[in-house]
Structure 1
Amino acid sequence: MTAMTARVPDPTEAPEQQPWQWSEQTWRGHVDRVRAGRSLTPASWPGGARVAVALSFDSDHETIPLREGETRPGKLSQGEYGARAGAPRVLRLLDRHGIPASFFMPAVSALLHPGEVRDYVAAGHEVAMHGWIHERNMLLDPADERELAFRAADTLERLSGTRPVGIRTPSWDFSDHTLAITRELGLVYDSSLMADDEPYELLADGEPTGIVEIPVEWIRDDAPYLMMERYGALRPYTPPRDVAGIWRDEFDAAYAEGGLFQLTMHPHIIGHRSRMAALAELLDHIAGHDGVWYATHADIAEYVLRESP
C-alpha cells in the first residue's frame, strides 16, 4: 500500500488558494460531497416502543498498536485484554439483559480471534466492518482504501458466515472516497458521521444514496473519557460512573423525544471491572423504562428504510 505524502509545490503553478479565497462553488462543493439528507426517524419504533437503543462495541484489540507499527508486548497486551477479558464480560452482561448489539471488528482482529467472532454470532449479535487493521483511511490512496475494504468484508463473511451490511470506519475517519466504496460494497448503512442524533440518509454531491447513517458522537463513546497514554497527556480523567451519568442523560433525552440512543464502546476500554459496573448500572436504568426497543445497527437501518416514505 502507498501512504499519501505531502505534495511538493510546483513553482510553475499558481499557489494554492487559502480557504478564505475559495469561490462559492469551491466551498459548496466540499460541503456537499457527503451530506445529511432526509431524516429517517420513524413515526414509531417496533411494537410501539418509545425509544430505540443501539449498543455497539468496536473490537479493535491488538489492531491499534499494530496500525502504528508497534509490535512490542506492552501495547499489544492492552489490546489482548479486550479479547481475553473485556469481550467475555460484555457478552455476559448483554446476555443477562437479553440485549442484541453490534460488534464492529477490524478484519485482522477477527483473524486473531476467530472464536470471538463465532461467539458474537452464536449470541445473536451483529458483526460489522471496521477496516482491515484499523488503518487511517484518510492517509491512503483510493485504490488501497478500496482493496482493504473489500478484503475486510470478505474476511468477516468467511469467519462469521454472513456478509456484513454495515461499516464503521476506523477512528470514524471518512475520506473523499469512503462513501463511493461503501456504495460499491452494497452496504446498507454507515455509522461514522455526526450530523444528527437520529438516523438519516446520506447524500453524495446532493444525490440520495439509499444508505442509512446511524450517527455516532464522541459524547457517546467511551474512548475520550477513559483512554490512557503512558507517555502522553491522555489520561482517564472522568470516573466511570460519571461517564455513565452522561450517557444516562443522553438516553433520557432520546426517550423523551422518541428517538434513538446509540452508544459506542470498546471491549479493551469498557471491559475493565469498574467500568463494567458503571455500564451495568446504565443498563439497569434503561431497563427500568417501558417501551424500549433494543436493536442492532443493522436492525435499525433496515427498519427505518422500510418505514420511511
Structure 2
Amino acid sequence: MSSEGFGLPKESWRWPETAWRGHVDAVRAGRRLVPDRWTGGARVAVALSFDSDHETIPLRDGETSPGRLAQGEYGARAGAPRILRLLERYGVPATFFMPAVSALLHPEEARAYTRDGHELAVHGWIHERNMLLDREEERELTARALDTLTTVTGQRPVGIRTPSWDFSDSTLDIMLELGFAYDSSLMADDEPYEIVAGGRSTGLVEIPVDWIRDDAPYFTMDRYGSVRPHSRPRGVGEIWRDEFDAAYHDGGVFQLTLHPHVIGHRSRLVVLRELLDHIASHQDVWFATHAQLADAARSMLPGSGPDRP
C-alpha cells in the first residue's frame, strides 16, 4: 500500500518519524540463525533452488503468443530434465519453487521433483504480482497454490517464495495464517534469520535470496525492451564461486536461485556443473533443501523443540 493510503503526504521527507519507522519495522530481520556447525558437522550449508516458472511469466502478463509461451515451455521440456539428471549425478537435493499453474501444466514434472527426493515449494498461483492484489485476493491465490501442489504431488509444501520476491502489506500475515515454516523472498542478510514483525518474533525462518545469486538478471532477454543478456556464463560462474568461497570461510550458507528456462540451456548448464565440481572439492559441505536448512536454522530459536511449528 502506498503512503498516501495511510493519509500521509506523498513526499517522504514530510512524514513524521512514526510513519517511516512504522514502514521499516513492519517486516524486519531478527536473530541470525547460524549454528556453530551445520548438520553432520558441516562447515557450510549449500541450498540450491530452481524457480520452475515456465509459461506463467507471459500468462501472468496476458501474453499468449506461441513464441513467448515456447520460451517458458523450454524450461519444462529441456531445462528441468537436464537439471534433474545433473542433480542425480552429484547426489544433490534441491528445492523447486513452482507456480501452481506450472504444476497443472506439467504435473509429471512436479511429481518427479518429489519422487527424486527434492523439495517442492509454493511460488504463487500464476506468478502473480502480489503488490497489485488486495489481501483477500492474495490469500486466496496463495491458499489455492498450496492446495494445488498438495493435490498434484500428495505432499504438502512447507515453504514459500513469493513471485518476483515481492512482499505486500499482507504477505507476512498470509504466510503465518497458512502455516508456512519458512520463506525465501527477502534480502536482509546472507544467512538465515527469523522474521520480526512490528518488533515481535514471528517464528518464521527466512532463507534470504539476492539478485547476485540469481541467473535471471544475467541471462534474461526481452526482444522489445531494454533487457539483454550481458554476461558470459563463466563470468557469472566466477561470481557464484566467490560467493560460495566466502560462505565457506564464514561457516554460513550459500544459497542460489536458478530457473530451468534460463540456466537450462547447454552453455549455461556447464557453469552449474563446474560450480558443483568446485563445491564438491571442499570438505564439510552440507547440501540441503530449503526446508532442511530452515529446520537446522530454527534450532537456534529460543524455545525451539518438537512442539514449536
2:150 aligned partner: 157
**Overall identity of the aligned pairs, in %:** 69
C-alpha separation in 1, matches of 2:106 and 2:124: 15
Matches of 1:78 and 1:133 in 2, distance apart? 16
- TM-score (normalizing by structure 1): 0.95
Deviation sequence 1:248-285 (CA, Å, 0-9, x none)? 00000000000000000000000000000111001100
Q: Which whole-Å CA distance do the structure 2 matches of 1:281 and 1:299 have between them?
A: 24
Q: For the residues of structure 2 that align with 1:24 and 1:280, how far apart are their CA atoms? A: 50
Give the secondary structure class of the aligned counterpart of 2:299: helix
Deviation at 1:7, TM superposition (A): 11
* Secondary structure of 2:47's aligned partner: strand
Q: Alpha-carbon deviation of 1:48? A: 1.1
Q: Show the 5 A alignment for 1:63-212.
A: 63-212=56-205
TM-superposed deviation, 1:8: 10
**Is contact 1:42–1:308 with CA below 8 Å preserved after alignment?**
no
Q: Any conservation in 1 of the 2:99–2:126 contact (CA below 8 Å)?
A: yes
Letter in 1 for 2:137: D
- For residues 35-59 of structure 1, what are the alpha-carbon distances to aligned partners after superposition, in whole Å with 9 as ceiling and x for unaligned? 0011111111011111000000000
Matched residue, 1:234: 227
Inter-partner Cα distance in structure 2 for 1:15 and 1:290 = 54
1:296 is matched with which residue?
289
CA distance in 2, matches of 1:169, 1:253: 27
Map of 1:46 onto structure 2: 39
Inter-partner Cα distance in structure 2 for 1:54 and 1:144: 31
**Can you list the C-alpha shifts for 1:141-190, whole angstroms capped at 9, x where unaligned?**
11100000000000001111111101000000110100000000100000
State whether residues 3 and 9 of structure 2, in contact with CA within 8 Å, keep that contact through their aligned partners in structure 1: no
Determine if contact 2:39/2:286 at 8 Å carries over to the other structure.
yes
Scaled by the length of structure 2, what TM-score is found? 0.95
Tell me how far 1:17 sits from its aligned partner.
4.7
Q: Displacement, 1:308?
A: 3.8
Looking at structure 1, the residues matched to 188 and 201 of structure 2 have their Cα atoms a distance apart, in angstroms, of 15
Residue 34 in structure 1 maps to residue 27 in structure 2:
yes
Could you list the runs of 4 or more consecutive aligned residues of structure 1 that deviate by over 4 angstroms after TM superposition?
Answer: 6-9
* Corresponding position of 2:239: 246
**In the alignment, is the contact (CA less than 8 A) between 2:95 and 2:121 conserved in 1?**
yes
SS at match of 1:250: helix
Query: Aligned partners of 1:247, 1:226: CA distance in 2, in Å?
Result: 14
Evaluate the alpha carbon distance shift between residue 277 and residue 8 of structure 1 in structure 2; reply closer, same or farther with a 3 A threshold: closer
* 1:15–1:305 Cα change, 3 Å: closer
- Per the alignment, residue 279 of structure 2 pairs with 286
Equivalent position SS for 1:60: coil
Aligned length in residues: 301
Which stretches in structure 2 are left out of the alignment for 5+ residues? 303-309
C-alpha change, 1:29 and 1:307, in structure 2 (3 Å) is closer
| Structure-2 residue corresponding to 1:57 | 50
Q: What is the alpha-carbon distance in structure 2 between the residues aligned to residue 165 and residue 44 of structure 1?
A: 24
Q: Structure 1: where are the runs of 5+ without partners?
A: none
**1:264 counterpart = 2:257:** yes
